Structure 1
Amino acid sequence: MSNNTNSQPECNIVDEDIAGPGVRVSFYVQTFLLVLLVDRSWQDAPVALWTFIATSFGLTLAAIINRSELVLLEAMQVSNLVWLANFGTFVALASYSRRKAASKKSGKKAASKKLPSHMIKPDYGVKYGAMLQTLFSMLLTIYMW
């Protein structure tokens, strides 16, 4: 019996560009900061939400493009990261909508504090983008499994 360790396959090696530690930490921190930002400054939320939606979409697209080299561990990590992003996006959207509605009500009451018109009218673009990314990630999950 030989002690050749090279004959055993490496099961836990992942592609660093798709499911490496940097990507995972980036998604964890970005989700936390997005929810925190929306709660603190709802005016800056659409840009942060679009950035996070685009990042999640990019990871989903990279997983689909590299599907021939994707191993089960990577697929599970990508799926978990994308669903974490979806959850964070919808929590941030709920907070954003609540803050925007509260500001709209207080803006009507206080005539001295005028908000620009683009901050008062409904912003459905980011909500539709989040819904499309969620549908896309659902399709990715079904496709991977």
Structure 2
Amino acid sequence: MLMKKWQTILLICIVAVIIIAGAKPLLVSIFGEWPGFPSNYPAEDYDPRLTVQASSAVPVIQAAELYYAKHHQYPMEGKDLLPFLTSDLPTEGQLYGWAYVNETEGFQLYQSLGWDPRLIYVHTTSSSHWVFDPGDGSPAKKIQLKP
């Protein structure tokens, strides 16, 4: 009886591995590529995939500028931007998937792009730029994007 139970568990595990292994080609056929970005993604200036990701930050960036215009400082927390967003949020309390971090002279927005990598928007009172962080310990890369 005990042997039969372990055989059943082993069979379930094998079937699960086969299903998961078979899911990648299916997802690739549906989405055209594996969802998310690997840490070795070759981020470059004006990258079309990263530009799409960056575009979702535009309403949050605009909200931060509206907040700054009213309060003469950037908010301490991302939730303070919610009243300044000009369009409806898909989920209350979220900034279109972006996390907000207050910095001494500005703010950063970042979004996870997969297991490790992140896209980061760095804004100070004098400049702003995008950064692709592979998240695997290799150096982050400053990139040009026009969302």
So what's the TM-score if we normalise by structure 2?
0.30
So what's the TM-score if we normalise by structure 1?
0.30
The structure where strand makes up a greater share of residues is 2
